[in-house]
Amino acid sequence: MTKLIRVAFLEKAQLAQAAALLGTAFNESAKVMRGELAESFSADPYRPVVLAATEGDKLVGVIECDTGPEFEQRNIYAFSKLAIDPAHRGKGIGQQLVQAAETFVSNAWMKGEPGTVAVIDGTKLDNPKSKFYENMDYAADWPPVLRDGQPILKKKLNVGFCPV
């Protein structure tokens, strides 16, 4: 029986697990990732926000939501560092994390107003035919914009929302 996956803000006690997971996923040292993740606990009002997916006590996925003054001015925010434990891939955890991140950004940073989320589609590196983000309504601008050879995909949030 599959355990329930819980998505919440990354806790300091999960920092080492998250850094190890990201280090493996991005071929980077866990020490470097730990330093980057530690920024989410700073007092900086523009600090990244990291969401963690857990199954019981085990961290099985993370996603980082990025903001800053330049993001606010353009009303475009970003997701980065999406990683799922290899033993837990294919269970919808990545989609659950992206949806939780969209909800967070939509409510906390966009305050329900229309805006855009961008992501560098690194899934194409291992699997060029991947449609992970496209299946969640992310699309490239035309002509496509690339960063480090990877397409930047965007999705509009809070479009057509009409509170009752």
Of the listed ranges 7-16, 90-99, 101-110, 125-134, the least confidently predicted one is: 125-134
DSSP secondary structure letters along 3-35 = PPEEEEEPPGGGHHHHHHHHHHHTT--HHHHHH
Q: Which residue ranges form the domains of the chain, and what is each CATH number?
A: 5-157 (3.40.630.30)
Token output for 98: 């992206």
| Mean pLDDT of all residues belonging to the chain | 89
Q: How confident is the model at residue 1 (pLDDT cuts 50, 70, 90)?
A: very low
**Residue from 70, 69, 72 nearest 115 by CA:** 72
Q: What is the mean pLDDT of residues 2-23?
A: 91
Element (H, E) at 101: helix 93-104
Contact 153, 119 (CB under 8 A): yes
Give me the percent of the chain exceeding a pLDDT of 90. 66
Our CA angle for 40, 44, 45, nearest 5°, is 100
Per-residue pLDDT tens over the stretch 59-87: 999 999 999 888 888 889 999 899 999 99
Average pLDDT over residues 7-20: 96
Q: What percent of the chain has pLDDT over 70?
A: 95
What pLDDT score was predicted for residue 70? Answer: 86
Does residue 38 register a pLDDT over 70?
yes
